[in-house]
Amino acid sequence: MSERVDHLPASAALARETVLLGAVSADPAQRYLWYWDSPRALVMPKKLAAKPQFEAAAVASRARGWPVEVRSTGGDVTPQGPGVVNVTHVYAAPPARTFDLDQEYGRLCAPIEAALGVGAARGWMPGAFCDGAHNVQFQGKKFAGTAMRFRPCRGDKSRYAVLAHALLLMDPPEAGAIDAINLFLADLGEDREIDPATHTGLPKSLSRADFLDRLAAAFASDSELVDQAARP
């Protein structure tokens, strides 16, 4: 049976992520694996909200049907809406002297790659939205964008509470989503443009339900983390 995907506004999803991170920080024995999607919206990091053009750009984007929400993780502007499913994994990393960011990104990306199968890879994809070293690609195009937030656990200072998020493109992004990002970036004064041809969706051999089942199984196989994942 495939994992349930919750449907809620992006603002509510981002707020719930913060609550889950706080819960794991207080009790490192907790672990949450949560799938969600939302109506059309643009989600952006706080750093862009500091730009002087932000308020006007956000008003213009909302008028075009793409409200803007601000998230606590890093990254860049990303779309929500049809064809997008998000996975939020919140957990306490095993005790360590220092936090290994690449290792924790591996915990997020490797299950996605395993669920996709042959043709999955990781790395930069110039022209894609929210480009980064921890993109998950399929056959040379971007399938998933990733972001992370972490902090020492209040309940165990030897461990870090981690909020790991991936935006999964079940379908290639709709043209309107890429247009919305590009118009918003232009209104912010950003000298760059997203290329829709750099993105892809699920391989034709995989249904959405089968992919989410495979993804849940891959996350569950991480033997270093607790065996039980709670529902948010």
Catalytic one among 92, 109, 130, 188? 130
d(CA 216, CA 190): 37
8 Å CB contact between 55 and 188? no
Nearest to 184 by CA among 138, 130, 134: 130
d(CA 186, CA 61): 11
Query: Is 109 an annotated catalytic residue?
Result: no
What is the β-pairing status of strands 5-7 and 32-37? parallel
β-sheet with 78-80: strand ranges across: 68-71, 41-45, 78-80
Q: Which residues are catalytic?
A: 130
